[in-house]
Amino acid sequence: MIAEPNTASNLPSQKENAVHDETAPESAVQNGSSVRNGNLKTPSEKRKVREQCENIKRNSSSSRRVSQLQNGEVVEAVTLFEVVSMGKRAMQSVVDDWVEAYKQDRNVALLDLINFFIQCSGCQGMVTAEMFQSLHKKDVMRKMTETFDEETGLQYKKFMAYPWILTVTWPVDTDNKDYPLIRTGPYWKKFKANFCEFIAVLVQQCQCNILYDSYLMDTIISLLTGLADSMVRAFRHTSTLAAMKLLTAVVSVHLNLDVNKHNAERLYEVEKKRTSGKRTNYRLDQLERKRKEYERKLLEIQNMMNAIFKGTFLNRYRDVIPEIRATCIEEIGSWIKTYPDGFLNDSYLKYIGWMLYDKQAEVRLKCLLGLQGIYSRKELVSRMDLFTSRFKDRIVSMPLDKDHEVAVQAMKLLMLMSQNCEDVLSTEDCETLYQFVYTTHRPLAVAAGEFLYKRLLSHEGDEEVQPEGGGKFGASTDRLKRLISFFLESELHKHVAYLIDSLWDWAGKFLKDWECMTTLLLKNAEEDGEALSDAHESALIEIILATVREAAEGHPPVGRGAAKKILSVKEKKIQLEDCTKITEHFIMVLPQLLAKYSTDAQKVANLLQIPQYYDLDVYRMEHLRKHLDALLREVKDIVAKHSDMSVLEASSRTYYILCSEEIAIYSQVDRARTQLIDELMGQLNQLLDGFWQKEEGFCTDAGEISQMHSALRRVAAFHNAHDLTKWNLYDKTLRLLVFEMEHGSLPVLMILPALQCMYFSLLWQLTAVSENSPKETLFTLRRELRCFSQICMCFLHHKEKDVREKAFMILCDWLLILSHQDSNNNEEAVGLLDYLPSTSLQEKLLLFIQKHVFMEEEEESKDLTEEEDRKDESCKLDDLHKKRSLLAAYCKLIVYNVVEMSAAAEIYKYYVKTYNDFGDIIKETLSKTRHNNKIQSTKTLILCLQQLFQTHAESQDSSSSVDFHSASFTNMKELARRFSLTFGWDQVKSRESVAMIHKEGIEFAFQGATGVGGKCLPPNLSFLLIISEFSNKLLKPDKRLVYAYLQRYIAEPLPCRGDEWQPLIWYRNSLLANEDEESSVLGSSGELSPVGTSKMSSFKRKLSNGSLPVTSQTEAEGKAPDLQCSSQLASAEGKRRKRLKSREMHLQEHLPFLCPGGLQRRYCKDEIKTEDVSKKSQAEDTTEDVDVDVVSADQDS
């Protein structure tokens, strides 16, 4: 423990004087106590102290600088703080110099160290010291205070750092604003590291002698304990960090002493067994003295550790500042790991366990990192049983932490606990943790992948022990089956790519064993009774596809990771090697797999995606050409067997990948493709001929309809990726669609693929337009484009829902393409083919969205079983997905200026009502349109609110006043609030837009006002309540201008009787919300008598004294209307504007639409009436005008 303070009689008086002379200027230190708050008798003395504190940096530096001659040059010594902050590399030499100074004069050196800690706290004040002389300890402790002198603005902290009583004085305005430990940038990060290193090196250098002198450590511990109890964050944070690092360094010293003591005991025992003799007895005595010395030092070190722990840690580990709590927890974790014999017990572990529940992620993270260091050592885990049982549930729940890094470290900690603690995690715990492999946050998923691989998939001895009958893939086959079982049991079958990505870093070699996987698939049940089931085969094929994609692309799946990661040279080399390996293996195996599963659409669709990851240059080898023929043959058979769109699209893409003109196999694949398309078109032509030959051109046979449907789907799938123009598909599909328009009797199964074929045909023709295209071709194409658009418009009203939605999607994409096509720099082609929708077409598109997206269909309430209810929910989700696709397609037309931006007003009306379903799409549309044209986008917002307000007004009874509490009005205010939130925090960026909203809103609110001078109630006055939601987005000068613009429409005096004028009052209050703004916003009428300097304070006083308070409706009903209006408007009408000319010139430059000439002329009289304002007021005005200029400069930039 720290020794009790001694009396002053034991200390020489000369050292006292030296202390005073060294720590403070003579004028500030008299008898060691002149700077205390109670001793400052006169204002001049207090002012003098404040000046000294403001210049303390210069004073403290100059008091320490000593000129010395070294090699003929003058070298200036600097303070410890300057040395550490500058990052001197030779920290050892700095500490050695201080130790030498301590040995010469320990009081001076200690005060240097005290000043160092005070300066590291960022204190710009002054430290004075007086020797502890009083025998009355209680009286001294009663004076250990921390006070604030309001007159001088100085903060005082007085506390004991034995053998001194220190008084720290600093300006209060620099209290918690900034100090070195929280400053940002590489310089200050390095300072923190240097600060910690200095403490460690200091203890290390002092451990031989002066560390045990009962003076140095007592003073330092007293100092840090006193500062750690301060209300000032800077003192508390810096001293806590120093104390924790000091204890860490002392723990290291304790460990060294413990080793030395143990060695001395061993030597003593060895010497004791030797032959007795004088020399031997002397040696024993020497070793005994050394052992006792080590014991004494260990006892002192233990006392130091207890003093720091109880004096600092116990008070600060629950500090209100999270950085301080994190520091304490980080260091206690270090103590437990470094010195487990002293700290690894429940008395210390409980603090880490408690702080696992801390609200700050930083603190929870330090707890987990500390526990990782403990649980990683098996010899320590056996002593953690009680802690593990008490806090295991909390740790298991922490992978769900909202902070990603905490979740990742929690998963890693659980991995260590699983490895080193037997049966600590139950089966339920493990099953819960396994599911984190599907999370979107990749680091957490990878950590969960490690847990899954090591806990479930990888068993020790798998490589050595081969299962019976497993062959050379025995161990891999066993792992693969466990992986498939886990994947099927998790019931998240569409997320296999996430599962593989999570395991990739830990099981990459195993997951690249495609030979084992394909061998398992091709194995026959007759050969081996353990062949895979159908579900296991489907899962394994999905796993194969996911592993091939991961190896070939080298980046995480969609949704996991912000963007594609940049591969290093080594990673690119591995990726190329994997692609070659994939190609060489699957070139031979894939045809066999396709032949085996040719009747299973899902399996074939997945297998056909593998060729897109081939390295096609491998096909240059002649011996592999036969495998290419086999692949093309199997794909052709699959196309003939299946009409499933996923299979057909995968087959079409396979031909597209293999038909690259740059590779040697192009001619071979192109022949096979042409032959296949000829067969497909032949089948389609035959079916169409039979169809048109029938009476009335319509077939009722379900088999013929199915055949026609399959033929059209096959052609559409190939037309998507291949140019089939030479087969004249346009005319064939046009005839079908025209027939449907005229008769309306074709089945949906024929209409949808025919519409798709016609769309692809026109796209290929549009792509083929070149600079040399003849006019006849362009006119023909233009006619076909107009014809197709008319067909789509007609189908918007089709009786079948699928046809309507398909026609709308194609029409939106078609309009977008036509309005942005460049036709290979052929300007004439652009002019002929350009097609912007007419007004009627725009109205039809908007009406379609309103009717089929936003209008909810009436549902009949039915009693459904659980299975039927699940299917119904699935149908609802599919329907919502289709609606979102329709809305997104239309919003793209708005964003890319295909339809008028004002059409978005109808979409914005549903922003709040449909926020859960479509809020993200509408918000993104608003953001994109604002980026394209700020003003036009703003007018669209205000148009939306105006239309809603008019609808609300029409629904109200004309004889009654507006109900501000009705659902429709509340929804309008909420919509306006949501709109205001979209402008963000950058008021300068949105300045012009927000001002436009207020201008348009004011004009709309006073539209239609009747009576003489507009004294009658305007019908739209309550609209001001709506636009008041945007007042908080106005800059201060813009609020003044908007207020002035509002005054143009207000007759004076205003006959405000009753609650109908409340919207005006509330809106004016929203413009006068802040005290600073109210001081400069005045009414525009009435007389203001000249005021002098003495009246300016009351002139600038807040308007709350009888100004414009926001009055609720209930309060308003209880007051007389005349008195209410007069009390609310009197002060605003009785004040005058200042700085009109400078403000008007500035704001007219930036917001000209709010500064008409009439408005400027109106303020001429007010400008003259404020001439009597004093020069002091004019100076303040100039300052405010400068603020306005700064804002404008930001806007311009």
Q: What is the longest distance spanned by two Cα atoms in the chain?
A: 134
**Res 714: pLDDT:** 94
Q: What is the pLDDT of residues 828-839, one digit of tens each?
A: 666 666 677 888
Query: Picking from 840-849, 918-927, 1160-1169, 1171-1180, which range would have the lowest pLDDT averaged per residue?
Result: 1160-1169
Q: Which tokens hold the place of 846? A: 């908007």
Q: Which residue has the tokens 């511990």?
A: 221
CA distance 1068 to 1065: 5
Q: What is the pLDDT of residues 739-794, one digit of tens each?
A: 989 888 888 999 999 999 999 999 998 888 876 778 888 888 888 888 999 999 99
Query: Picking from 290-299, 787-796, 814-823, which range would have the lowest pLDDT averaged per residue?
Result: 814-823
Q: If we measure between CA atoms, which residue out of 1033, 992, 1017, 981 comes closest to residue 1195? A: 992
CA distance 56 to 126: 6
Helix (H) or strand (E) holding 20: helix 13-23
Q: If we measure between CA atoms, which residue out of 586, 607, 584, 581 comes closest to residue 596? A: 607
748 CA to centre of own chain: 46
CA distance 1033 to 857: 39
Q: Indicate whether 696 pLDDT > 90.
A: no
**Res 1099: pLDDT:** 30
Question: Are the beta carbons of 521 and 475 closer than 8 angstroms?
Answer: no
Query: Picking from 110-124, 891-905, 1072-1086, which range would have the lowest pLDDT averaged per residue?
Result: 1072-1086
Q: How far from 93 is each of 61, 618, 714, CA to CA, in Å?
A: 20, 65, 83
Q: If we measure between CA atoms, which residue out of 433, 427, 341 comes closest to residue 395? A: 433
Q: What is the pLDDT of residues 1065-1113, one digit of tens each?
A: 888 888 886 544 434 433 333 332 333 333 333 333 332 333 333 333 3
- Mean per-residue pLDDT, 969-974: 89
Question: Are the beta carbons of 435 and 490 closer than 8 angstroms?
Answer: yes
- Mean per-residue pLDDT, 1131-1146: 40
Length of the chain: 1197
Q: How far from 299 is each of 288, 305, 511, 887, CA to CA, in Å?
A: 17, 10, 58, 77
Neighbouring residues of 1164: CB distance < 8 A, sequence distance ≥ 6: none
- Mean per-residue pLDDT, 479-505: 89
Q: Indicate whether 237 pLDDT > 60.
A: yes
- Mean per-residue pLDDT, 200-215: 88
Q: Indicate whether 34 pLDDT > 50.
A: no
Question: Are the beta carbons of 1057 and 1121 closer than 8 angstroms?
Answer: yes
Q: Indicate whether 399 pLDDT > 60.
A: yes
Neighbouring residues of 773: CB distance < 8 A, sequence distance ≥ 6: 826, 829
List, in sequence order, the alpha helices (H) in 896-1009. 904-908, 915-932, 934-955, 967-981, 991-1005
Q: Indicate whether 394 pLDDT > 60.
A: yes
Number of neighbouring beta carbons within 10 Å of residue 489? 10
Q: Which tokens hold the place of 1057? A: 């009787």
Query: Picking from 2-6, 157-161, 554-558, which range would have the lowest pLDDT averaged per residue?
Result: 2-6
Number of neighbouring beta carbons within 10 Å of residue 1111? 19
Report the SS3 class of residue 69: strand
What confidence tier does 527 reach under pLDDT thresholds 50, 70, 90?
Answer: low
Q: Indicate whether 598 pLDDT > 90.
A: yes
Q: Which tokens hold the place of 719? A: 């037309």
Number of neighbouring beta carbons within 10 Å of residue 702? 10
CA distance 315 to 389: 27
CA distance 224 to 114: 9
Query: Picking from 59-73, 213-227, 616-630, which range would have the lowest pLDDT averaged per residue?
Result: 59-73
- Mean per-residue pLDDT, 646-654: 95
Report the SS3 class of residue 153: coil
Single-letter residue type at 519: T
Question: Are the beta carbons of 98 and 109 closer than 8 angstroms?
Answer: yes
Question: Are the beta carbons of 444 and 505 closer than 8 angstroms?
Answer: no
Report the SS3 class of residue 67: strand
What confidence tier does 554 reach under pLDDT thresholds 50, 70, 90?
Answer: confident
Query: Picking from 131-145, 157-171, 632-646, 764-778, which range would have the lowest pLDDT averaged per residue?
Result: 131-145
CA distance 699 to 932: 52
Q: What is the pLDDT of residues 129-154, one digit of tens each?
A: 665 444 344 444 444 455 555 555 56
Q: How far from 185 is each of 237, 279, 533, CA to CA, in Å?
A: 19, 63, 60
Tell me what the pLDDT averaged over the chain comes to. Answer: 77
12: left (phi over 0), alpha (psi -120 to 50) or beta: beta
**Res 80: pLDDT:** 82
- Give, as one character, the DSSP assignment of residue 726: G
What confidence tier does 532 reach under pLDDT thresholds 50, 70, 90?
Answer: confident
Question: Are the beta carbons of 1036 and 1076 closer than 8 angstroms?
Answer: yes
Phi/psi at 1099 (5° precision): -65, -35
Q: Indicate whether 367 pLDDT > 80.
A: yes
- Residues linked to residue 379 through DSSP beta bridges, in sequence order: none
Q: If we measure between CA atoms, which residue out of 831, 693, 807, 705 comes closest to residue 758? A: 807
**Res 1088: pLDDT:** 27
Question: Are the beta carbons of 845 and 837 closer than 8 angstroms?
Answer: yes
900 CA to centre of own chain: 34
CA distance 767 to 775: 16
Q: Which residue has the tokens 């990888």?
A: 458
Q: Which residue has the tokens 């918007």?
A: 796
Single-letter residue type at 899: V
Q: CB burial class (10 A; 0-12, 13-18, 19+) of residue 851?
A: exposed
What confidence tier does 1061 reach under pLDDT thresholds 50, 70, 90?
Answer: confident
**Res 873: pLDDT:** 83
Q: Which residue has the tokens 């403001």?
A: 54
**Res 962: pLDDT:** 63
What confidence tier does 409 reach under pLDDT thresholds 50, 70, 90?
Answer: very high
CA distance 306 to 1173: 68
Question: Are the beta carbons of 535 and 488 closer than 8 angstroms?
Answer: yes
CA distance 604 to 650: 9
Question: Are the beta carbons of 926 and 934 closer than 8 angstroms?
Answer: no
Q: How far from 688 is each of 156, 643, 737, 739, 1095, CA to CA, in Å?
A: 99, 18, 13, 13, 96
Helix (H) or strand (E) holding 447: helix 442-452
- Mean per-residue pLDDT, 522-536: 72
Number of neighbouring beta carbons within 10 Å of residue 69? 8
Q: If we measure between CA atoms, which residue out of 233, 225, 245 comes closest to residue 310? A: 225
Question: Are the beta carbons of 929 and 904 closer than 8 angstroms?
Answer: yes
- Give, as one character, the DSSP assignment of residue 133: -
**Res 694: pLDDT:** 72
Q: Report cis status (omega within 30 of 0) of the bond before 163.
A: yes
